[in-house]
Amino acid sequence: MSGSATASLAALNGVSAANELVQAPLGKALPVLDGLAGLLPWGGLRRGSTVVVRGSTTLLLALLAAATNEGSWAAVVGMPDLGLLAAHELGVVVHRLALVPRPGSELVAVTAALLDGLDLVAVAKQPPAAEARRLSARARNRGSVLIPVGGWPGADLELDGSGGGWTGLSNGHGRLRERELVVRSRGRGAAARGSQVRLTLPGGRAIDLPTDKPRLRQVVP
């Protein structure tokens, strides 16, 4: 890991060097929203696991919500368009959320440092397979939860969030208030059978839809 990456992360409130951490017990699950608990064979996000999220930024933020509400710190790496307002409205405690929008060539070093100091680390770009496996091994060793967005070799669990409708509109106008999301899980071991739930989540920032606008210009996930 480069010295500059370590120094910049150590400056974050709540991030410590690895040798200063008191590690949480491996295997202990971090909490998730009630609707998501049934998808996870551990009833939450098991420390040391790698859990892939596909298809939905809303699903990613929903995974972070309960844990940050109970004092955990989280980070999202490589998602420059992630909105803090959307995160807040989905229940994430944003002052416990660190964002590294453009890690560039420091992707692996930054993710590794965050796994040393935080409970949950989401990363939106997959490094080469060997580096990805090393990051999963680091998460296991540190008792953190690694949440890749899109794909990851050897992940313990994959969650796939797909479409669903929005509510809050009436006769071509109104505000988007809730989104229905279908989430499917599959994985290894206890998660091999797979499962599916249908969730209703806040839709993010309310967006006015005048009758003369047939399409949305922006939807906050």
Pairing of strands 173-187, 195-202: antiparallel
Amino acid occupying residue 63: L
Integer Cα distance of 26 and 150 in angstroms: 25
Confidence of residue 166 (pLDDT cuts 50, 70, 90): low
Which residues, at least 6 apart from 40, have a Cβ–Cβ distance to it below 8 Å?
29, 32, 46, 51, 157, 185, 191
What is the rounded average pLDDT for all residues in the chain?
Answer: 77
- For residue 18, the 8-state DSSP code is G
Q: Where are the beta strands (DSSP E) in 84-144?
A: 97-100, 120-123
Q: How far apart are CA 189 and CA 187, in angstroms?
A: 7
Q: What is the pLDDT of residue 203?
A: 52
pTM of the model: 0.75
Q: Can you tell me the mean pLDDT for 87-97? A: 93
Give the C-alpha distances (Å, rounded to integers) separating 142 from 25, 122, 136, 172: 9, 15, 10, 50
Ordered domains of the chain (ranges, CATH): 3-10+25-158 (3.40.50.300)
Rounded to an integer, the average pLDDT of 158-181 is: 64
Rounded to an integer, the average pLDDT of 150-161 is 92
Coil, strand, or helix at residue 8? Answer: helix
Name the more confident of 143 and 41.
143
Lowest mean pLDDT among 11-20, 132-141, 212-221: 212-221
Mean pLDDT of 143-163: 92
Structure tokens at 155: 């992940």
C-alpha to C-alpha distances, 44 to 49, 65, 99, 158, 160, nearest whole angstrom: 11, 12, 23, 14, 16
Cα 149 to Cα 55: distance, rounded to the nearest angstrom: 8
**How many Å apart are CA 30 and CA 47, to the nearest integer?**
7
What is the identity of the amino acid at 220? V
* pLDDT band at residue 164 under the 50/70/90 scheme: low
